[in-house]
Amino acid sequence: MSILTVNLGTYANDGNGDDLRTAFEKSNNNFTELDLTRVITADNLGSGAPVFKEKIGNNLQLRSIISGLNIAVTYTDNEISIATPDSINSVEEDTNPQLGGDLNLNGHLITGTGNILISGNIVAQEIAGNLTGNLTGDVTGNLTGNVTGDVTGNLTGNVTGDVTGNVTGDVTGNLTGNVTGLVSSIGNHNLSALGDVSSSIPVIGQTLTWSGSEWGPSTIVAGVSKIIAGTNVTISPTDGIGEVTINSLGGGGGGDLDFGSFLSPAGFSLDLGSF
């Protein structure tokens, strides 16, 4: 309902205005309309910061919106604009972004063609790319890429790439790539290049021979079994096995040199040369 106007006529008591009853009915209706629709109130909607503060008399008190750190507030007759002063609307536009706390990936990936430079520790379930720096800590997962730096910690996982640096820690996993540096410890590991070498432990007097399929210890069955020192002769080593050095004790009395048993295989003979 709109506000009703009381008809006053052209002049007093000219008979053209509203009678008293009609005039007061209009007045009562106008008060009702004002009471229902013209009383000014304000509410803050939503969960944001409240803009309306309070109403004092006929004056509404509203809070001001001011600019904060890296935030600018501008306004026109009809609009208020809140923006960063340097127009940074994404992380890509910030050339020096910094975190004030931990970054939660929330199940998402960090992808790109750049490098990740970290001066602290790396905690990951798997490193599938190439590592071009030095690993000075322990690696307990698998390395499926190449390591071109030094590994000074312990590797308890598997390395399927190439290591071109030095490995000074213990490797308890498998190294399926090439190591061009130094490996300080390969305990409990077999080298793939020695896969055709028997694991049998040789005894004294045996030598390493090729069986046609692998290298293994075997006993000498033909030839000089050992050299034995006689009178005025010393040998080194004293057991006479292996590469033996013969020395004379002097004295002019001559000496004895006993070569032990010699079994000449077919096609071979023993030539002592001059002695």
Is 76 part of a structural domain of the chain? no
Q: Which pLDDT score is estimated for 64? A: 92
Dump pLDDT digits (tens) for 155-190.
777 777 777 777 777 777 777 777 777 777 666 566
Main-chain phi, psi angles of 29, to 5 degrees: -65, -40
196: left (phi over 0), alpha (psi -120 to 50) or beta: alpha
Cis-peptide into 237, omega within 30 deg: yes
pTM reported for the whole predicted model: 0.35
Q: Last residue of a domain, which of 168, 195, 222?
A: 195
> Are the beta carbons of 205 and 219 closer than 8 angstroms?
yes
Is 108 part of a structural domain of the chain? no
Dump pLDDT digits (tens) for 214-268.
888 887 665 666 777 777 777 788 776 767 777 777 655 555 555 555 555 555 5
Is 142 part of a structural domain of the chain? yes
**DSSP string spanning 52-104?**
EEEEETTEEEEPPP---TT-EEEE-SS-EEEE-TT---SGGG-SS---SS---
Is 253 part of a structural domain of the chain? yes
Q: Which pLDDT score is estimated for 151? A: 78
Number of domains in the chain: 2
Is 203 part of a structural domain of the chain? yes
In one-letter notation, the amino acid at residue 268 is F
Q: Which pLDDT score is estimated for 198? A: 84
Residue 87 exposure: Cα atoms within 13 Å on the Cβ side: 0
Main-chain phi, psi angles of 180, to 5 degrees: -95, -5
Q: Last residue of a domain, which of 195, 223, 257?
A: 195
Q: Last residue of a domain, which of 142, 166, 195?
A: 195
In one-letter notation, the amino acid at residue 43 is D
Length of the chain equals 275
Do residues 267 and 204 share a domain?
Answer: yes
Domain that holds residue 182: 119-195
**Above pLDDT 90, what percent of the chain?**
5
More confident residue, 78 or 230: 78
